Amino acid sequence: MNFDLSEEQRLLRDNVERLLAKTYDFETRRKIAAGPEGFSRAAWARYADMGLLGLPFAEEDGGFGGGPVETMLVMECFGRALPLEPYFATAILSGALLRRAAAAELRATLVPLIGEGKLLLAFAHYEAQSRYLLHSIATTARREGDAYRIDGEKCLVLGGAEADKFLISARLSGATHSRDGIGLFLVDSSTPGLSRRSYRTQDGERAAALSFAALSVPASALICDDAAGAIDAAFDEALAALCAEAVGAMDEALKLTVDYLKTRVQFRVPLGSFQALQHRAADIYVALEQARSMTLFAVMGLSESDPHRRRTAALAAKARINESALFVGEQAVQLHGGIGMTMEYKLGHLFKRLTTIRRLFADTDHCLDQLAESESLLAAP
């Protein structure tokens, strides 16, 4: 199988790397994180100018027609630079839902706004009882004439602190854990009855918790009345994108560690001259390459028409990423010593982001439990 990138894909990767290297160094990131919004509107505009915000969307919807490989390349670059803008929440996760659940007319309206950087979108889905169960939804939506009344609460809404609109999952019918009866609503963040509490996550990004107290939305706000399939597919894409981001962060952690071992002098010689430390750096490289290979496995799996094969590939990759992220992060910090844990040094922030990715959407135990209940990986792509 040919894993070589096309000329266009290499150009995309190189352009994103140059943009982030020029405008998003670590000190700039620290200043942005301390700002009132926690992300940079100027950086968001630059992503729009480069076409990154419209990359995952089809050209007929107003996007740039990028696929899973292009998304992987962008997310790897983002993993190295740790930008704080809600690219994942808006373009990747919410974008996947729009592509799969929204009608063509709605996509034609929203996608250009997203691509131009004029619309921040967030998916409000997880609830306190959900854990990692995608179909566990207690929030209800009840039809009342020409409107729907939505009651419930959502937690960990990625990108929710700054979102202009929310895609909200709510139960139209069925039991809390039922796959059937899940609706998807598009709701403006300023709608009366929607309460938002923003907070900072451990990796420096921001999320929100939402509560709906008799939130009334027009019937037209319901964009899909059987959204389980779209949600499943969107989360598979999100898992692959997170794996790619983690690979970028681990790659940057390895680079920082090797540079440190080459320059830090102890006992009048560089630390990198000690064979035991060379072995540990080599182990980090092995873990990184294992993660990279499994990320490619997940990305290839996204082209599968069989949902089971697609999910199996995504979960297998996420399980490997979770373990590699922990190993690479811990080893890199230990090889740096105390400086690796300081807020003034990039490595600690990389480790925080890797720790967050390990817990997002599926931790290792959940991945392994789901894989154990499914068919063998030999049946996966």
Three state DSSP letters for 182-239: EEEEEEECCCCCEEEEEEECCCCCEEEEEEEEEEEEEHHHEEECCCHHHHHHHHHHHH
* Dihedral of alpha carbons 32, 33, 34, 39, sign: positive
As for how many domains the chain has, the answer is: 3
The verdict on 83 and 204 lying in the same domain is no
Asked if residue 369 is part of any domain, the answer here is yes
The verdict on 191 and 319 lying in the same domain is no
Look up the pTM and report it.
0.94
Distances 182 to 117, 222, 230, 256, 262 between C-alpha atoms, Å: 29, 11, 10, 45, 55
**Of 119, 146, 164, the domain-final residue:** 119
The verdict on 157 and 108 lying in the same domain is no
Query: What local confidence, expressed as pLDDT, does residue 211 receive?
Result: 96
The verdict on 269 and 370 lying in the same domain is yes
The verdict on 240 and 205 lying in the same domain is no
Query: What local confidence, expressed as pLDDT, does residue 287 receive?
Result: 97
**Of 174, 203, 226, the domain-final residue:** 226
Q: Are strands 147-158 and 206-218 parallel, antiparallel or unpaired?
A: antiparallel
Residues lower than pLDDT 70 in the chain? 1-2, 375-381
Query: What local confidence, expressed as pLDDT, does residue 381 receive?
Result: 43
CA distance 298 to 290: 13
Asked if residue 138 is part of any domain, the answer here is yes
Query: What local confidence, expressed as pLDDT, does residue 28 receive?
Result: 95
Q: What value does the CA radius of gyration of the chain take, rounded to a whole number of Å?
A: 21
CATH of the domain at 34: 1.10.540.10
Query: What local confidence, expressed as pLDDT, does residue 62 receive?
Result: 92
Residue with tokens 């294992």: 290
Phi-psi sector, 193: left (phi>0), alpha (psi -120 to 50), beta: left
Asked if residue 1 is part of any domain, the answer here is no
Query: What local confidence, expressed as pLDDT, does residue 377 receive?
Result: 52
The verdict on 222 and 233 lying in the same domain is no
Asked if residue 266 is part of any domain, the answer here is yes
Asked if residue 2 is part of any domain, the answer here is no
> Is the distance from CB of 348 to CB of 338 less than 8 angstroms?
no
Domain that holds residue 325: 229-379
Q: Are strands 165-171 and 121-124 parallel, antiparallel or unpaired?
A: parallel
Query: What local confidence, expressed as pLDDT, does residue 1 receive?
Result: 58
The verdict on 165 and 215 lying in the same domain is yes
The verdict on 255 and 216 lying in the same domain is no
Query: What local confidence, expressed as pLDDT, does residue 269 receive?
Result: 86
Query: What local confidence, expressed as pLDDT, does residue 340 receive?
Result: 86
CATH of the domain at 210: 2.40.110.10
Asked if residue 31 is part of any domain, the answer here is yes
Query: What local confidence, expressed as pLDDT, does residue 375 receive?
Result: 62
